[in-house]
């Protein structure tokens, strides 16, 4: 019974991880097309934006805005 409950908890936890998807996409920026990595996560846009801002600020990168984009310069991949 204990093993069953452990397996059930691990299975339910893994369902949340499975929903995040990444794929190749393209972005039109200043009349040039760029290949980008797009990531879908099962969270609200505001939550993800704030998490990225906090993560980058903790590592010393400052943000700037360009049109609808949030830009962090000189960040290694």
Residues 6+ apart with CB under 8 A from 72: 56, 61, 62, 63, 64
**Helix %, strand %, coil % for the chain, to 5?**
40, 35, 25
Q: What is the pLDDT of residues 15-48, one digit of tens each?
A: 565 566 778 989 888 899 988 888 888 888 899 8
Q: Tell me the whole-structure pTM to 2 decimals.
A: 0.57
Q: Among residues of the chain, what percentage have pLDDT more than 70?
A: 77
Q: What gap in Å lies between CA 58 and CA 56, rounded to an integer?
A: 5
What band does 50 get if pLDDT is binned at 50, 70 and 90? very high
- Answer yes or no: do 20 and 49 share one domain: no
- Answer yes or no: do 1 and 36 share one domain: yes
* 8 pLDDT above the threshold of 70: no
- Answer yes or no: do 47 and 61 share one domain: yes
How many Cβ atoms sit within 10 Å of the Cβ of residue 72? Answer: 15
Count the domains in the chain.
2
Question: Which range of residues forms the domain containing residue 22?
Answer: 1-41
Mean pLDDT, the chain, as a whole number? Answer: 82
Q: Quick one: pLDDT at residue 10?
A: 67
29, 36 Cβ separation under 8 angstroms: no
């Amino acid at each position: 019974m204990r093993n069953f409950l452990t397996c059930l908890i691990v299975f339910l936890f893994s369902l949340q991880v499975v929903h995040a998807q990444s794929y190749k996409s393209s972005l039109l920026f200043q009349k040039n097309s760029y290949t980008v990595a797009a990531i879908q996560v099962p969270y609200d846009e505001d939550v993800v934006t704030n998490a990225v801002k906090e993560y980058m600020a903790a590592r010393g990168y400052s943000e700037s805005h360009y049109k609808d984009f949030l830009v962090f310069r000189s960040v290694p991949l």
